[in-house]
Homo-oligomer: A and B are copies of this chain.
Amino acid sequence: MPTQGKLEAVCKTVLERITPKPDERKKIEGLAKTLERKVAEAAEYFGVKAAVRLEGSVAKDTWLSGEPDIDIFMRLSPTVPRTALGEVALKVARKATEGARQVERFAEHPYLEAFVDGVRVNIVPCYEAKRGEWLSATDRTPYHTDYVKARLTPQMRGEVRLLKKFMKGIGVYGAEIKVGGFSGYLCELLIIRYGSFLEVLRTFANLRQRMVVDTENHYEGRKDELPLLFNEPLVVVDPVDMGRNVASAVQRQKLYTFVAAARAFLENPSLKFFYPPETKPLTVGELKEALQKRGSTLVFIIFGRVEAVPDVLWGQLYRSQRSLAKLLETNDFVVLRHTVWSDEENLNAFIFELESHILPPVKRHLGPPLEKIEDCQKFLAKHSANPETVSGPYIEDDRWVVLIKRKQTDATTLLSEKLRDGGRSAGVAKEIAQALSRSFKIYKNAEIVEVYSRNSEFAKFLTEFLQGKPKWLEKA
């Protein structure tokens, strides 16, 4: 067991690195002020009535040095129709950041991401809504900012920064669908509730069952209602909206990765958790050797551009991944692991690791129990003189059974056939199916070097996937 001293020393080192220095702070705060003004002016220019305000981690002073995101919110009148909200906001935002690189983004409604002086700026619309009378998902944000600002001491801001950096380091930070992890606001609420980074870690390290955080005691005396309202394993009741679980986006795997990492860090603190070593991709030769020695089969489905914004893309990728894994499993392939990768531009990959991509040509097929007389008749009629029947029908215990030829014995053939038309019938999501129906390619084991050697990000991802082990699990 490490001494408290060792833990504190690591935290101190990290905190020094991630707390913005006066120069950086001055630059970012100045830029935020300027942008606030520019957005207000642009709104006025278009005759749009809007309350413009800085939100997010810069407003709350919980941003990480070197990784600022400036969020400027425009609060519009509820008289603007929802369908027009995004359009109006985009027009204003484009004008306010004229000359900067601009990317249209989409969450619940469109918003603009711009890069100004090398800093990412999000200009987001919302409604001037009364507390509890939300018209769009972003309406709560100004209330969140106010709630957090009023409660965080300067000391606690450091603790938030540590928690965020830790979560980034172990890959569970971010509520976007791609990550399915912890949002910045969630980190702040956890610090408000538990007081410090280490206390949050200790709490999660001891997680043994469902965890409910209700800092504002919205459910005082009504705790029984919570399981009916929320079924996620981690529930953090939103202080500004008791009907909302701030942790609803946190996937189980991310929650438990955090739990495991918290335990490991408390046992053996190290900078590695905050600053994981960069992955050095295997050379092509090493990759080939690793795949050969491994003995499993990796099947890759590689395809190109999907017409969808990131949140939609990842939602559809994950859904399709699950459906394809299911397809393989219902056809008796043993799926060891599966994952998905995307550069969000021109290259997407589903990866399935199988015990084997070839199945034996014969399988057992259980018929009805003898007591179901009509089903038995149908079963015998179907299998008794069928050329696909290898043996039987025979009686085993109280059922008819046959050994029959297996229809699909090769996973790559199965996938090729099912995806030829996009794979909608196999549960592939719409936009993914469109991309697949244009073209895709299936690679098996070392055949992937073709893709691997021309895309270093993919190479890094695959190297990590093969290793499988979180970096913080390595002994120091």
Contacts and interface: CB of A to CB of B under 8 A. Distances in A.
A437 interface: no
Interface residues of A, number: 56
Contacts of A396: 253, 337
Contact of A398 (B233, B384, B468): B233
A391 B475 contact: no
A256 interface: yes
Nearest to A364: B336
Interface stretch (A27-35, A126-134, A354-362): A354-362
A385 interface: yes
Contact of A356 (B295, B360, B466): B360
Contacts of A376: 260, 263
Contacts of A394: 337, 468-470
A169 B426 CA distance: 49
Number of copies: 2
A453 interface: no
Contact of A395 (B257, B353, B391, B402): B257
Interface in A133-190: none
A393 interface: yes
A392 interface: yes
B252 A390 contact: no
Given A252-B397, A403-B337, A473-B384, A259 B360 contact: no
Contacts of A233: 398
A110 to B, nearest CB: 33
Contact of A390 (B260, B263, B296): B296
B355 A362 contact: yes
Given A296-B362, A353-B391, A394-B469, 20 more contacts: A206-B373, A207-B370, A208-B371, A252-B397, A252-B398, A253-B395, A256-B398, A259-B370, A260-B395, A260-B400, A295-B362, A334-B364, A336-B364, A336-B403, A337-B364, A355-B359, A355-B360, A391-B469, A393-B473, A394-B470
Interface of A: 206-209, 233, 252-253, 255-257, 259-260, 263, 294-296, 334, 336-337, 353, 355-356, 359-364, 370-371, 373, 376, 380, 384-385, 390-400, 402-403, 405, 466-470, 473, 475
23 contacts: A206-B373, A208-B371, A208-B373, A253-B395, A253-B398, A256-B370, A256-B399, A257-B395, A263-B376, A294-B390, A295-B405, A296-B361, A296-B362, A296-B390, A336-B362, A336-B363, A353-B403, A355-B362, A391-B467, A391-B468, A392-B469, A393-B473, A402-B468
